[in-house]
Structure 1
Amino acid sequence: MDNLKKRGVEDRSKINMHEDYEVKYWIKQLGITKEQLQRLIDKVGNSAAAVRKELAGQAKG
């Protein structure tokens, strides 16, 4: 379970789709829908860096 008081860099390195506040944070940060975020995580894993990298690659593609 996430520590809600720990929201620093370490906590943001992984995306937890089971925590509503994290999902809301990431869809706002990345400018995508929850469904798009889930598809990215299914493809590359829950690393925020990997999700950002894949999203950037899709934008170029």
Structure 2
Amino acid sequence: MDDKSKQDGRDDAKVDLNDPNEVSYADQQANVSTEKHKECAKAAGTSNREKFSSTLSQILDSAPSQTGKYRT
């Protein structure tokens, strides 16, 4: 059972890719689509936010610029 009185922040370092709300929030923070987020997480090999960010930067730097609300 989940003990809400024990909160130490370890979960904040990762995005639960099976939780649509958490993925949606992370998508908005990164300004990318859900598909791009999952692709980057797979390329990073982890759902760790820090590693994801560096992988996303590398992918977006190598991709041509696109207009629109989200980077795809």
Same-fold call, TM cutoff 0.5: yes
Q: TM-score, normalised by structure 2?
A: 0.65
Question: Is 1:36 the counterpart of 2:39 in the alignment?
Answer: no
Structure 1 residue runs of 5 or longer lacking an equivalent are none
Fraction of identical pairs, as percent: 17
User: 5 Å matches for 1:40-51?
Assistant: 40-44=40-44, 45-51=46-52
Structure 2 match to 1:17: 17
Answer yes or no: is 1:26 the counterpart of 2:36: no
Higher helix share: 1
Q: TM-score, normalised by structure 1?
A: 0.74
Q: What RMSD in Å do the two structures reach over aligned CA positions?
A: 2.8
Where structure 2 has 5 or more consecutive residues not aligned to the other structure, the ranges are 63-72
1:7-61 per-residue CA deviation (whole Å, 9 max, x = no partner) reads 8743221111111111111000000000001101111111111110111223333
Cα 1:3–1:18, aligned 2, differ >3 Å: closer, same or farther?
Answer: farther
